[in-house]
Amino acid sequence: MPATPLEVENLCAGYGPTRVLEGVSFSVPAGARLAVLGRNGMGKTTLLATLAGQTRRYDGRIRIGTTDVTALPSARRAHQGLGYVPQTRDVFPTLTVEENLSVGLKSRPKTALEEAYGMFPRLKERRRNLGNQLSGGEQQMLSTARTILGRPSVLLLDEPLEGLAPVICEELMAAFANLAKTGDMTILLVEQRIQSALDFADRVIILERGRLAWQGTPDDLSKDHGAVERLLGVGGLH
Return d(Cα 210, Cα 197) in angstroms, integer: 20
Query: In percent, how much of the chain has pLDDT > 70?
Result: 98
Using one digit for the tens of pLDDT, what is the confidence trace for 52-101? 999 999 999 999 999 999 999 999 999 999 999 999 999 999 999 999 99
Query: In percent, how much of the chain has pLDDT > 90?
Result: 94
- Reduced to 3 states (helix: H, G, I; strand: E, B; else coil), residue 33 is strand
Q: Where are the beta strands (DSSP E) in 131-202?
A: 154-158, 186-190
- Reduced to 3 states (helix: H, G, I; strand: E, B; else coil), residue 122 is helix
Q: Examine the pLDDT at 237 and tell me if it is beyond 80.
A: no
Q: What is the pLDDT of residue 145?
A: 96
Q: What is the mean pLDDT of the chain?
A: 95
Q: What is the pTM of this model?
A: 0.94
Which residues contact residue 211 at a Cβ distance below 8 angstroms, ignoring those fewer than 6 apart?
21, 22, 23, 24, 43
Return d(Cα 51, Cα 176) in angstroms, integer: 20
Q: Examine the pLDDT at 21 and tell me if it is beyond 80.
A: yes
**Which domains occur in the chain, in start order?**
6-232 (3.40.50.300)
Q: What is the pLDDT of residue 238?
A: 59
Q: What is the pLDDT of residue 236?
A: 63
